[in-house]
């Protein structure tokens, strides 16, 4: 992390680029929600950094064939801090920037719904949402709190008996094509793409960074796209975005 003075200089540089751009797309990842108490996967305190084995639970073929993995996944869902988490200064700054027409496309890999709770609209949820459950057999959907309220350790679909899962994208599952296409269009249309709190390691979403005309990366750690970025801001997302929103009003 940079010293606070250097970080604020970088935030000012980002605000300058942001102000000049005719249109801006923003892509967020798990790092924007760590200040709301939700762990990321690959950061220093990430779920997978602490427990690399946990990654298997996010593989769709393992989830579909192994009832024990599903029971563990449901226990984890129940305990997910996202149910009570509040948006932080990073989410609120992006909502304010969108409100003042400084963000034309807001894309997220997050599944926690915190951008919407901060007031953002038209959020492209590239990896789905934990707020809905979908039947893997018949496609019926429910709000997740309703399914959790059943208090079953591996709740089946009440219509067809199929396996239920949150409406999130696991490894081995395709992204929603329409959402991905909208993200590609939004990125190509923008003069500037700002990526925030993502390690940019998983395609196809990470590939959006390669489509950008001009790229800025805000992230505490290195990413594979740092060399392509016009500016890399290596510091607290909440501090940086709040400073940008202050400057741009």
Contacts to ligand NAD by CB under 6 A? 29-31, 33-35, 38, 40-43, 46, 109-112, 127, 197-199, 201, 219-221, 236-237
Do the beta carbons of residue 218 and residue 245 sit within 8 Å? no
CB-hemisphere CA count at 13 Å for 14? 33
143 or 204: CB nearest ligand NAD: 204
Is 127 a residue of the active site?
yes
Shortest CB 86 distance to ligand NAD, Å = 13
Which listed residue (70, 91, 115, 127) is catalytic? Answer: 127
Q: In angstroms, rounded to a whole number, what is the distance separating the alpha carbons of residues 194 and 16? A: 13
- Phi then psi for 132, rounded to 5 degrees? -130, 150
The torsion angle over the Cα atoms of residues 4, 6, 8 and 14, rounded to 10 degrees, is: -140
Shortest CB 202 distance to ligand NAD, Å = 6
70 or 127: CB nearest ligand NAD: 127
Shortest CB 47 distance to ligand NAD, Å = 7
| Best CA proximity match to 27, nearest among 248, 226, 206 | 206
21 or 241: CB nearest ligand NAD: 241
Quick one: tokens of 188?
A: 């190509």
Shortest CB 161 distance to ligand NAD, Å = 28
From residue 106, give the alpha-carbon distance in Å to each of 142, 152, 179, 226: 25, 35, 12, 21
132 or 191: CB nearest ligand NAD: 132
Residues catalogued as catalytic: 127
């Amino acid at each position: 992390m940079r010293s606070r003075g250097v970080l604020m200089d970088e935030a000012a540089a980002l605000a300058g680029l942001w102000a000049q751009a005719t249109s801006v797309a923003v892509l967020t990842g798990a790092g924007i929600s760590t200040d709301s108490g939700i762990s990321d996967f690959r950061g220093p305190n990430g779920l997978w950094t602490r427990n690399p084995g946990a990654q298997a639970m996010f593989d769709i073929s393992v989830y579909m064939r192994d009832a024990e993995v599903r029971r563990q996944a449901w226990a984890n869902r129940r305990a997910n801090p996202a149910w009570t988490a509040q948006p932080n200064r990073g989410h609120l700054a992006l909502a304010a920037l969108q409100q003042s027409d400084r963000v034309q496309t807001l894309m997220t890999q997050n599944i926690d719904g915190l951008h919407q709770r901060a007031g953002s609209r038209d959020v492209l949820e590239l990896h789905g949402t934990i707020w809905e459950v979908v039947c893997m057999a018949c496609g019926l959907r429910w709000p997740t709190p309703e399914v959790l309220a059943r208090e079953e350790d591996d709740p089946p679909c009440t219509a067809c008996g199929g396996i239920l899962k949150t409406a999130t994208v696991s490894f081995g599952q395709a992204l929603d094509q329409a959402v991905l296409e909208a993200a590609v269009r939004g990125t190509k249309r923008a003069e500037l793409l700002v990526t925030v709190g993502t390690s940019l390691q998983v395609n196809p979403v990470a590939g959006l960074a390669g489509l950008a005309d001009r790229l800025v990366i805000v992230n505490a750690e290195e990413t594979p796209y740092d060399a392509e970025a016009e500016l890399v801001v290596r510091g607290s997302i909440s501090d940086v975005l709040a400073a940008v929103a202050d400057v741009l009003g």
